[in-house]
Structure 1
Amino acid sequence: MGTIQTLPGTRDILPEEIGYWQYVETITGQILGRAMYQEIRPPIFEQTSLFERGIGEGTDVVGKEMYTFSDRGSRSVTLRPEGTAGVVRAFLQNSLYASGGVQRLWYTGPMFRYERPQAGRQRQFHQIGLELIGSADPRADVEVIALATDILKTLGLQSLTLNLNSVGDRSDRQEYREALVNYFLPYKDQLDPDSQDRLERNPLRILDSKNQRTQEINANAPNILEYLGEKSRKHFDQVQQLLTDLGIDYQLNPALVRGLDYYTHTAFEIQSEDLGAQATVCGGGRYDGLISELGGPDTPAVGWAIGLERLIILLKQQQTVPNMCCDLYIVSKGEAAEAQALVLAQKLRHEGLTVELDLSGSAFGKQFKRADRSGAIGCLVLGDTEAATQTVQVKWMATKEQQELSQTELLRQVGELKAQIERHKATTGHSTHEP
């Protein structure tokens, strides 16, 4: 019998890679925390109707890509294909609107869509997202865009482009939808099969087609910016001016419509030139009608999501991620020495040091080799002699300097020990951001 493998479109995130993920989550939490966004953790699965009503039954996500099943209570359940609908459901169910004002929320976790797996696109994928709920002000749109830009730039990403568009309000969108249908109908037989299917259900999605002939037809399609009403035009003009005030470059992209029905007004994507066809790292926009669509009060909102798999690809390319640096590696041999080493390791960890304890019981030579490979700054050595005298040998890996201290003295001078570790890190070029 063969070994059990992961399902197609899923993968293990191994310890050698997890540092990238933790780095992203740490930076994101710091930046969003400074802007007073609070983390929220909705369930991974929800009632199917949440996504049918929220995302739209005419979308590819609902029609083709959701993982939906009946549970033992005969309820239709769906693994979440995106994060916004669940956050909005939590906002309504827990009456977060009752306190008034703006709710600033962010989340992270796995999402699920049955798509063809490829680089940067998995069937179980991960996102970090935020939702600013309760403000129709153009400044809200720009705040969330600015925060996404801050996160990506702080992570060291280069060659980023902000694509910006407005899909107007529902009235604007309906008028534009009719214009698109009238434009595409004479070309129906020349459109790719997916676009033919979308012509009646969701014609705006035709503008997203990657089919070469459909893209040629799209080149002369009506421009949505020409169908914006006065209110929508004013909102979009203010968004552009505020982005300019912040020094955030953007380019208008009238073909950018996003894939979900709930978007209104501002839509945007941040793309990287280093990702090829799957270029979008962050996407989002305003969704003023979603909360009322799900049974809540009429509440404006705007948000975005960053795809972590694609982001990690970029971080690996530029090799900017903090290494997990071991401060001290403890080598021990002999029953008494090994027992003392465990106690010493725990006490040093309680003092805030990163300590790896060799548990192999191997000869000293093999343990020293593992200490070298660990990248530790220092090595603590305990053998029978040290156990008998309650001492420890402190060896600095880069310089091979060595000194003997009593275990009590080592713990009493832990502040100086930390300072020595930092000096050795600086001397040897260790960095919390080295590849």
Structure 2
Amino acid sequence: MTTERSVAITGIGVVAPGGIGTKAFWEMLTAGRTATRTITLFDPTGFRSRIAAECDFDPAACGLTPQEIRRMDRAAQLAVVAADEAVADSGLEVDALRPDRVGVSIGSAVGCTMGLEEEYIVLSDGGRQWLVDHRYGVPQLYGYMVPSTLAVEVAWRVAAEGPVALISTGCTSGLDAVAHGAQLIREGSADLVIAGATDAPISPITSACFDAIKATSPNNDDPAHASRPFDRDRDGFVLGEGAAVFVLEETSAARRRDAHVYAEIAGFASRSNAYHMTGLKPDGREMAEAITVAMRQAGLGPDDIDYINAHGSGTKQNDRHETAAFKRSLGQRAYEVPVSSVKSMIGHSLGAIGSIEVAASALAIEHNVVPPTANLHTPDPECDLDYVPLTARDHRTDVVLSVGSGFGGFQTAVLLARPGELS
């Protein structure tokens, strides 16, 4: 990687369960609090899993107009609010930018799920009519059908006229969208990219789908402790929602304007297992390959990794798969470096979670604090690494590895480094 096209994170915006805004998000993580609870966004009676990590989100209080609220699906609202915070945090004046040199890269796994489901209920008379009556559809219905609407809303917000893309690779979408944004800067296609991800999947259809394959936790009587990555007694993930958006810019340009740089994006890689839609091979080979390639791209080795922000969904096959991947790619270093999963506190927001975890990784570098894995009381003997149970840890953190795993066999690794660490 050449220093003249290295990529810096200069702005962070987060809308997450447990708190709106980056400050509230980080305070919750470092306190080890959980935001999982009984679902309130719809009546979950009759569902196998009736818990989720919801955002206490008021779009009007976050600055959206009545017209914007009517037009946008909840996922778009989360993305735009996070983008507003990121741009403000960066200190950039959007009006002063060259629009053709500003790009947008937004990830999402399930797009405008809530808007689509709400409209289907109306058009089909609660599912009673097989042939829906289009006359009752809102004008925004076509936009709900097209996932790229989410990226378009962010592009309109920042007047971006450069490359604009919606990245949808399942649960790695958030990592892949940030990586794509960084690549646009590296290759010279843009000078600045608004990158991140959003998903608002807490709806009956999504819950029913995960119920059907028994992927989500049925621990409805104790939702605060239901998300238990790497714990022997874990029984599935907890659905979440949220968004995280970043301002990415060329590092040299950020330094010229004396911007605050949270971290540099040092390397990234993705692989697929070409194996099964939801299954994972226990050896973790494809994730290990993504980690190895990302380290090679960054010019880093296993001993340089100070913290791993794990996928850590809380399913048995995932936790064992990535534990094997860390050992395979990092060797002995895997036993020495702290690893944790923030999904234990904010649930699994599908495509959004990768970007939310990038935010946690950048803040770990910023503050030299590693977030904990909440609810980890009885470690799985097959998950025998240092998973930072229950309590955040002060720890010098110069390089963070963040990984994601998604249905379809997607595996992504992203490396963040302290500013100047790669010079």
- Which protein has greater RCO, CA pairs closer than 8 Å, 6+ apart? 2
Higher helix share: 1
Normalising by structure 2, we get a TM-score of 0.26
